[in-house]
Amino acid sequence: MAATNKKDLAGISRKEYEKLRSLLTRIEAAAALEKRDEDTSIKDVIAHRAHWVDLFLGWYADGLAGTPVFFPAEGYKWNDLKRYNADVRARQSDLDWPGAIALLDVNFGKFCDFIDGHSEQELYGGPMKGARNAWTPGRWAEAAGPSHFRSASKYIRSCLRSDRAENS
């Protein structure tokens, strides 16, 4: 169930991030860089999650500024996500494992600052400007933050299970 207030959003964000960070401590660089299904590595997934936090913060800023908000990004539509994600992976291909973790940490800090710096009304008082739907900034934040952290954790746990099964 989606958070409906600032306190719950902050709590679920930190909880899901801590779970993800705990998993990351168990991943060695070689395993993180190993390409898996759809030519994607654990490093790619972590860097992608960091990117989406930054993407959300940009959407919010653009909406407030009254400039066009492109979902998910300029030149892409939601049904282009596979292509968009592949393009993000290509742009982040030079990022190493420590760099991906550092990017996630930095962007999570920005994400927490965003939540902490906005009032209940700003987060849940109405639709996000520029979004052209009924989702509040808090709901968009949850989709870009804790929801993505949760799915990354699920992906990593699946990779770890698969690796254990292959090595047994």
Q: What is the pLDDT of residues 103-154, one digit of tens each?
A: 999 999 999 999 999 999 999 999 999 998 999 999 999 999 999 999 999 9
- What is this structure's pTM? 0.93
Handedness of CA 84, 87, 89, 91 (dihedral sign): negative
pLDDT tens figures, 30-88: 999 999 988 899 999 999 999 999 999 999 999 999 999 999 999 999 999 999 999 99
Q: Distance (Å, rounded) from C-alpha 12 to C-alpha 119?
A: 17
- All domains of the chain in start order, with CATH: 45-166 (1.20.120.450)
